[in-house]
Each structure stands twice: as C-alpha cells, then as structure tokens.
Structure 1
Amino acid sequence: MHGARTSPDEDGGPRSAGGHWAGTGRMGTIGELGEFGLIGRLTRRLPQGPAVRLGPGDDAAVVAAPDGRVVATTDLLVEGRHFRRDWSGPYDIGHKAAAQNLADVVAMGARPTALLVGFAAPPSTDAAWAERLYDGLADECRRAGASVAGGDVVGAPEVTLAVTALGDLGGGAPLTRSGARPGDVVAVRGRLGHASAGLALLAAGRDGPAELLAAHRRPEPPYEAGAEARAAGATALLDVSDGLVQDLGHIAAASGVRIDVDSATLVVPEVLGPDGLRHVLTGGEDHGFAGTFPPDSPPPPSWTVIGTVGRGAGVRVDGRVPDATGWDHFRG
C-alpha cells in the first residue's frame, strides 16, 4: 500500500478547537486536489485481494463470483446521523463503515469479497483526512479477507458514505432469517452492548472507560461466525446491528415463530455499568451475530446459548415483552 501512514491505533493528526480531526494540511484540501487527484490518492491506498480481477481505475470493477451467485448489501452513513467527527476520527469512520457492511455479508453465511464505496464530502475537507478514512476502510477489509474494489467521490455539504459489500457463498445455501423452527436454540457470538454504552458515554461528555469508547468507534465483528454457524447447521443467522431484541424479532417474524430469551444467560460485563443489561438487549452497532440452531446440532463453544425458539410470535425476555427493543432510523 502506498503513502506514509500512521499507526492504525492513531488518527494521524491533531483535532481542531471544535474537536474535529484537523489533519496536517500539507496535502491541501480535496477541493484543491480535484476529483481525479483525490481518486488517485485514495486508490493508491487500496490493495486488491484475489477476488478482485479488476480494481479501481476503469468504468467498473470486476469481482470473481465462483459460486455463480453474489451476496450484495448496502448501507448509508451520514455525518451527524451515523457518526460525528468530534467523536470519531477518519480512520474510525472508515473502519466502522467497512465493518457494518462486511458483517451483513457474513450474516448470510458468505465470505466477503469486495466493497464499493461512494464518498461525498465538502471540498474544504483536508485530503489527509480522506486518506485516513480510506486507510480504515482498507484495513478492516483486510481483516475480513475483502478489498475496496472501486466507488465514486463527489462534493457535498456533509460527509456521507454509501457502501456496497459483495460476498461469495462458496456453493452453500444462504443463511436467512426465515429458517428458525420450534425447538431450535438461540445463540449469540461477539460483543453485545459495548458500542451502545460507548455512545452513551460520548453523549454524556465522558472520556472513559476507553474500551467502550473504542467499541463505539471501531466495532469488531467476529467474521468467522458465518462459517462457524454454517458448519454447525444453523437454521437462521443475522448481524446484531439495531439491538438484540429487535434483531431477534426479525428472525421471529420471518420464521413465524416465538423467541424466548433468558436474561440470566447473557454476558453482561461489569464495565457496561448499571444499565448493562439494557445495553446488551437493545444496543446495536457491535455487529455481533445471533443465530438459531437445531437442538441436536448445538452451536460451537465460541457461541453462547441465550434462549429457545417456540410456537407463537415475537420476542420475550424472561417471559415478558420488553419495553424497549432497539434502534429505528425514523423513530430515533
């Protein structure tokens, strides 16, 4: 990968008086670089994996699809709605944008292969800021075995990212939300509640615990979860992005079943504080995974069994309908 880069644990520059990552200014702004100058700087930071047969630089990318099917998903991230530049640096924002899309591919039981990234920003944006954003995207793709294969850049009043992720099923059937059956067990993999607790700390103006702030800024999906679930015979799988209760509700609705969660089985670390259980049940953006498994084919030890699938509808926690479920972009 070309260009000097700071440590992945740093955002590579000072913050301005208003808290935004200020960059160094040595490269100028993206407006001064122009569209094609910016594209050249960004694409040089994007190594290509074996699934990408033709990467950035042409009218479109070419990505291998040996299975004959392509898993595709897309997300929008809008400044002020999905991230704040006084709370997260550019590397954080890129990391998070990649992670949430890659996790959706894994939730289908697929192997991520490529991202396509649309990047909109004010022309006054520091070019070094944009490069660090793409470093975050590229590094998280590398962790999942994928690449940023192409995209677009455009001027806009605020930073916006439109990310499309592609994946390969490797000959297997997709793991959907509609396969859960009465008698299955419900299990989760990965962190729950940490990103939500971190967001609450930032909203309250607090500067720690650091691990919770980091969880909000840089989620760490266990990308191996899709392959694990498939190998164990999972009947349904999804990415926990909007809250455990709400996302389990999607499985319940799609499968025509009821899901019962036993709160005593949930891992609620002390660091989450007095509202820990609420964060675990309703907090999103950790991008862990929840799945259902046949009773005679239990999930692997890396998963935690938290409940059962039965006849009926909806989700119950300790036998009751929970008051809160999770995030809705139009209800807030």
Structure 2
Amino acid sequence: MHVSIAESGEFGLIGSILSRLGDGSATLLGPGDDAAVVRAADGRVVASTDVLVEGRHFRRDWCGPADVGHRAAAANLADIAAMGATPTALLVALCVPGDLDASWAEGLADGLTAEAALCGASVVGGDTSSSPTLTVAVTALGDLNGLDPVRRDGARPGDLLALCGRVGYAAAGYTVLSRGFRTPKMLVEAYRRPEVRYAAGPEAARLGATAMIDVSDGLLQDVGHLASASTVGIDIRSEAFDVPDQMRDAAKALGVDPYRWVLAGGDDHPLAATFPAGTKLPQGWVEIGSVHDRPGVTVDRKPWSGPLGWDHFR
C-alpha cells in the first residue's frame, strides 16, 4: 500500500525517517530533541553544506531514493575529507511535494544513513517542509583530530599534484543516461552512487599535503581553484589517467572525447591534493601533474580548449 507524505503527515514522515537512522561514534545526543549534540574532541568543528534540487541535480527516473541519499551525503562528506578532517555527522533538510510517496523519503534516509556509515558518521537531525520542488539540503560536520586543516591556498611551485578516486565515471554515466541508455552499468552506477575514499583526506593531511580539494564540478575547474587560491600554475598529464575500456567504448558510441569526462566531468568526488616533491604517495593516490610558478591550469603543458567543469548558473 502506497501512502503519500500528505497522508502520513509531517510527524508521521519524521517518525518513519528517524526509525531508519543509526548513531555514529561522535553522536552524544541524536535526533528527537531541539538540537543534536556531537562530540568535537579536537575543539574545532569543520562544517560544509550542499543542496540537491530535483531536475537540477538528480532525476527520479534515473536514480532511486537510496541513490539520491548516497549522492547527497557523499557531496558533503567529501568536502569534510578534503579539509583533512574525519566526518562525524549530517544534518538534513528535506523539502517535498505532499503527493510524494512516503516510501521515497524512507529510501532517501536509508541511502543517507548507509553513506554516512562508510566513514563512521551518522544523521543527527534536520527539518522537513512541503515544497513544489523536491529538495535535499545537507550539512556535514567533521573533526580534525589534532591535524591542521588542509586549505586550497598552500600549493607551491615544485609540488606534485595527486588524485585519489575515480574521475570521469559519473560524467560518462550522466551522458549515457541523458542519451536514453542504461548501460554500461559501471558508468551508470558511478553516476548514481559515488565511491569516495573518505579516509584519504586525513591520510593526505598526515602526509603533509600542502593543498587539497574535493573534485565535485570537474577536475580542471576544481584544480583551477587550487591554482588561483595558491597563486600558482598547475599542469595535468593526460597520460596519468587509466581510462577503462567501458568508458572508451561508450565515448566512441556516443561521439564524445573520453577526456572531456575525465578532465571536466563532476560528481565522482575524488580528492585532489598537492604534496612536496618526492613525497611517497600511499596506495590509491596517483600522481597526475605538477605545480609551477606560471598562472593557469594546462593539460600536457598546453591550454585546454574544452569545457572546464560544471557551473550552476552557466
């Protein structure tokens, strides 16, 4: 039996969502009171927020509710990791049409909870409201555990640029879906659920990363933010990327240069960081470029003529 949110009511909706949430190790007081209490042993709290709007960031015919929950959580948790912090908690505001099936909101809660659990975090509270447009707004909190935050403005000429995580997969999946296809499954699933190595953020901080960023909008665009904040130039080597056969085959079938996905595609949420030259990178990190003193971002030491990444207002 399907029950709409209007039929279940606000408090019925909240009750069904709360029953699906777990507690993280940092949660001292979870949902159910006026506010949650989250342990911040370091004494400093890292915070980030992001919003997903139906039709702009996701489509229900492309993604199930749990997929949207995973994507919404990952977008915020990756920002916390990019500061060198460990995620601890999520706050979620959900704005929904009254005729939305209540099971959709429950599936969303399952996805949010499962993604947060991957890094030991939990959903500790939030809010609900009726809205003609389905919107999911998430705020993430994190703990530095005694480390200094890794900012965007610390890259120096001579540093190496490294990446941890997949890049281009989600953008390829988006293109596949937008053309009306559902395969290759690997690419479509990459769009639906990012695979983020959250532990890589604190790992990079301990290793001496000089600058770091979550690649959410496109590698060239986001690395450009590092270059601009650090007043340096960065060159990316295209040969450093292992483009899988499924991506190459899909690109050929769709008439797309796969490097447009790799260099300008978003939503995979890998971490890009600069390290002092000679740093021995841990497993999972791949050196993809270098930092120099000339402004701008280049690919193979040449200007890139294609798109740089996603811009919400472009």
What's the TM-score once normalised by structure 1's chain length?
0.90
Q: Is the 8 A contact 1:193 1:280 kept in 2?
A: yes
C-alpha separation in 1, matches of 2:278 and 2:302? 27
What are the superposed Cα offsets for residues 270-324 of structure 1, whole Å, 9 maximum, x if unpaired? 2112322111100010001110000132322321111110002110001122122
Q: Is the 8 A contact 2:86 2:199 kept in 1?
A: no
C-alpha separation in 2, matches of 1:103 and 1:170? 17
Q: Is the 8 A contact 1:47 1:147 kept in 2?
A: yes
Q: Which amino acid letter does the alignment assign opposite residue 310 of structure 2? A: W
- TM-superposed deviation, 1:231: 2.5
Moved over 6 A (4+): none
Instruction: Say which SS state the counterpart of residue 117 (structure 2) adopts.
Output: helix
Within a 5 Å distance, the mapping from 1:2-13 to structure 2 comes to none
Within a 5 Å distance, the mapping from 1:183-262 to structure 2 comes to 183-262=158-237
- TM-superposed deviation, 1:212: 0.4
- 1:294 is aligned, of 259, 276, 279, to 276
Same amino acid, percent of matched pairs = 57
The answer to whether the aligner puts 1:327 opposite 2:310 as a matched pair is yes
Instruction: Say which SS state the counterpart of residue 118 (structure 2) adopts.
Output: helix
Q: Which amino acid letter does the alignment assign opposite residue 139 of structure 1? A: A
Q: Which amino acid letter does the alignment assign opposite residue 241 of structure 1? A: S
Within a 5 Å distance, the mapping from 1:162-201 to structure 2 comes to 162-201=137-176
C-alpha separation in 1, matches of 2:205 and 2:150? 8
The answer to whether the aligner puts 1:119 opposite 2:101 as a matched pair is no
Instruction: Say which SS state the counterpart of residue 280 (structure 1) adopts.
Output: helix
- 1:105 is aligned, of 80, 95, 98, to 80
What are the superposed Cα offsets for residues 178-236 of structure 1, whole Å, 9 maximum, x if unpaired? 11000000010110000000000000001100010000000111112112212221111
- TM-superposed deviation, 1:54: 0.9
Equivalent residues, number: 306
The answer to whether the aligner puts 1:313 opposite 2:295 as a matched pair is yes
Q: Is the 8 A contact 1:236 1:293 kept in 2?
A: yes
Q: Is the 8 A contact 2:156 2:292 kept in 1?
A: yes
Q: Which amino acid letter does the alignment assign opposite residue 297 of structure 1? A: T
The answer to whether the aligner puts 1:71 opposite 2:46 as a matched pair is yes
What's the TM-score once normalised by structure 2's chain length?
0.96
Q: Is the 8 A contact 1:237 1:291 kept in 2?
A: yes
C-alpha separation in 2, matches of 1:66 and 1:55? 17
Q: Is the 8 A contact 2:147 2:206 kept in 1?
A: no
C-alpha separation in 1, matches of 2:4 and 2:152? 44
Q: Which amino acid letter does the alignment assign opposite residue 311 of structure 2? A: D
Q: Is the 8 A contact 1:269 1:276 kept in 2?
A: no
Within a 5 Å distance, the mapping from 1:14-25 to structure 2 comes to 25=2
The answer to whether the aligner puts 1:157 opposite 2:139 as a matched pair is no
Q: Is the 8 A contact 1:51 1:63 kept in 2?
A: yes
C-alpha separation in 2, matches of 1:283 and 1:296? 29
C-alpha separation in 2, matches of 1:32 and 1:148? 25
C-alpha separation in 2, matches of 1:318 and 1:307? 9
Q: Is the 8 A contact 1:48 1:149 kept in 2?
A: yes
CA-based RMSD: 0.9
Instruction: Say which SS state the counterpart of residue 113 (structure 1) adopts.
Output: strand
Structure 2 match to 1:15? none
Within a 5 Å distance, the mapping from 1:257-296 to structure 2 comes to 257-273=232-248, 274=251, 275-296=257-278
Q: Is the 8 A contact 1:272 1:279 kept in 2?
A: no
Q: Which amino acid letter does the alignment assign opposite residue 295 of structure 1? A: A
The answer to whether the aligner puts 1:137 opposite 2:112 as a matched pair is yes
Unpaired segments ≥5 residues, structure 2: 252-256
Instruction: Say which SS state the counterpart of residue 144 (structure 1) adopts.
Output: coil
Which has the higher mean CA deviation after the structures are superposed, 285-294 or 312-321?
A: 312-321
C-alpha separation in 2, matches of 1:293 and 1:194? 25
Unpaired segments ≥5 residues, structure 1: 1-23
